[in-house]
């Protein structure tokens, strides 16, 4: 048994779909007894519930920059999983990590959640793109302009890494799907549903027919929530302080997907590819799908469930997109008229082995439809 805390982790987005799933895996991690986990929460009543679970809960928002700085200054690892944490929050977290470095001489690690939206183009659903980004192609990623979504924050982290006081690891999820499960969901503390596919399903139910942008020729990559979380855990295993006497062992994907009941040693990753900063971008994808194929699957599921008589999707009208005539979901899904194609080459090189495929993505739509019908 481990008795000494070796890693202080400060996690943001603990009640969200991704952040809550990462936290759930950290709580069941073989080395969980060596972690001291702090989370940022907006609601005091939720903080009380988290504390009962042995998690240090800090009440505040992403506008409380001094609070972010103070808690980052205590952390060995910051894991940023909130999609509302913008540039000011990122800078505050970095300021805290700089303060810790100045005080201790130790460079903390920052695992930041970006997103494949940074790759999107202006296809408007009319055509697919032949450009496929690789997380091993540093020059290709560096060519993305700061006008792209997430780029200002991503570049700020890379610049901080170059200054030497922090090691930054930037995870770029693609279209995440699948229902989140675990004690946080059971307690009503975590959002269990993803964003994009439920939005398209809700839109289809409201308009009575599956919808798409343009002709749906554009393509997005995808990743299941379980596979995505295993990438975060891989990175945590690699960078969290640990007792050298524990030794090293070969990476075992089974340990990532189904943590053993007793502690295991950290996974071994190829040091050639486990990099940070400018070369520390990690895509999370395991296949891709056109928006037409996705919309057709929604249409078929609606007919099967009795929600529609015509399985063929139709294009969202300009009025639907611009004025939200029927629903707010369409306006929130505008990135789905773009292409976002990539390959998780670096992630796989360090030992990530996602299991869920495009077949699983399309099969998940019936469950999303059922959840929407019940809500």
Residue-level length of the chain: 375
Distance of CA 14 to the CA centre of its chain: 12
Mean pLDDT (the chain) is 89
Answer with the residue of higher pLDDT: 232 or 253.
Answer: 232
Q: Where are the domains positioned within the chain?
A: 7-122+132-192+223-285+342-353
Q: What is the 3-state secondary structure (H, E, C) of 150-201?
A: CHHHHHHHHHHHHCCCEEEEEEEECEEECCCCCHHHHCCCCCCCCCHHHHHH
Look at residue 263 in the predicted model and tell me its pLDDT.
Answer: 38
Q: What is the 3-state secondary structure (H, E, C) of the chain?
A: CCCCCCEEEEEECCCCHHHHHHHHHHHCCCCHHHEEEEEEECCHHHHHHHHHCCCEEEECCCCCHHHHHHHHCCCCEEEECCCCCCHHHHHHHHHHHHHHHHHHCCCEEEEEECCHHHHCCCCCCCCCCCCCEECCCHHHHHCCCCCCCCHHHHHHHHHHHHCCCEEEEEEEECEEECCCCCHHHHCCCCCCCCCHHHHHHHHHHHHCCCEECCCCCCEEEEEEHHHHHHHHHHHHHHHCCCCHHHCCEECCHHHHHCCCCCCCCCEECCCCCCCCHHHCEEEECCCEEEHHHHHHHHHHHHHHHCCCCCCCCEECCHHHHHHCCCCCHHHHCHHHHCCECEECHHHHHCCCCCCCCHHHHHHCHHHHHHHHHHC
Is a pLDDT exceeding 60 seen at residue 122? yes
CATH topology of domain 7-122+132-192+223-285+342-353: Rossmann fold (3.40.50)
Look at residue 266 in the predicted model and tell me its pLDDT.
Answer: 44
Is a pLDDT exceeding 70 seen at residue 78? yes
Q: Of the candidates 5, 13, 22, which has an alpha carbon nearest to the alpha carbon of residue 256?
A: 22
pTM for this prediction: 0.92
pLDDT in tens, 186-227: 999 999 999 889 989 988 998 999 999 999 999 999 999 999
- Section 251-267 average pLDDT: 44
- Section 72-90 average pLDDT: 91
**DSSP β-bridge partners for residue 85:** none
Is a pLDDT exceeding 60 seen at residue 362? yes
**DSSP β-bridge partners for residue 340:** 220
Using left for φ > 0, alpha for ψ between -120 and 50, and beta otherwise, residue 194 falls in: beta
CA distance 237 to 254: 14
Dmax (CA) of the chain: 66
Which CA distances in Å does 374 have to 177, 190, 205, 276, 287?
18, 18, 12, 43, 29
Contact 55, 32 (CB under 8 A): no
CA distance 326 to 323: 8
The CA radius of gyration of the chain, in Å to the nearest whole number, is 21
Is a pLDDT exceeding 80 seen at residue 254? no
Neighbour tally for 280: CB within 10 Å: 24
Residue 321: band (very low, low, confident or very high) from pLDDT cuts 50, 70, 90: confident
């Amino acid at each position: 048994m481990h008795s000494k805390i070796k890693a202080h982790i400060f996690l943001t987005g603990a009640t969200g779909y991704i952040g809550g799933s990462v936290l759930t895996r950290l709580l069941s991690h073989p080395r969980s007894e060596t972690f001291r986990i702090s989370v940022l929460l907006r609601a005091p009543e939720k903080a009380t519930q988290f504390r009962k679970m042995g998690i240090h809960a800090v009440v505040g928002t992403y506008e409380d920059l001094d609070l972010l700085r103070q808690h980052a200054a205590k952390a060995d690892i910051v894991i940023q999983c909130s999609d509302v944490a913008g540039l000011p929050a990122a800078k505050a977290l970095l300021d805290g990590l700089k303060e810790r470095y100045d005080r201790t001489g130790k460079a903390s690690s920052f695992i930041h959640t970006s997103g494949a939206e940074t790759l999107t183009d202006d296809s408007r659903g009319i055509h697919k793109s032949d450009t496929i980004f690789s997380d091993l192609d540093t020059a290709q990623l560096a060519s993305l302009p700061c006008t792209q979504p997430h780029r200002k924050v991503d570049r700020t982290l890379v610049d901080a890494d170059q200054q030497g006081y922090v090691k930054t690891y930037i995870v770029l999820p693609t279209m995440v799907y699948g229902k989140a499960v675990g004690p946080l969901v059971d307690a009503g503390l975590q959002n269990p549903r993803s964003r994009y596919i439920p939005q398209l399903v809700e839109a289809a139910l409201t308009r009575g027919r599956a919808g798409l942008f343009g002709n749906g020729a554009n393509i997005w990559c995808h990743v299941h929530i379980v596979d995505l979380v295993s990438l975060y855990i891989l990175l945590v295993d690699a960078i969290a302080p640990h007792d050298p006497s524990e030794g090293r062992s070969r990476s075992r994907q089974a340990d990532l997907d189904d943590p053993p009941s007793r502690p295991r040693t950290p996974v071994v990753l190829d040091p050639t590819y486990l990099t940070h900063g400018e070369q520390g971008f990690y895509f999370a994808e395991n296949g891709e799908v056109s928006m037409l194929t996705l919309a057709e699957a929604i249409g078929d599921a609606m007919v099967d469930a009795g929600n529609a008589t015509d399985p063929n999707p139709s294009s969202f009208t300009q009025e639907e997109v611009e004025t939200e005539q029927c629903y707010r979901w369409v306006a929130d899904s505008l990135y789905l008229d773009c292409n976002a194609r990539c390959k998780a080459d670096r992630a796989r090189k360090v030992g990530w082995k996602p299991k869920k495929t495009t077949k699983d993505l399309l099969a998940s739509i019936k469950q999303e439809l059922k959840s929407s019908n019940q809500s």
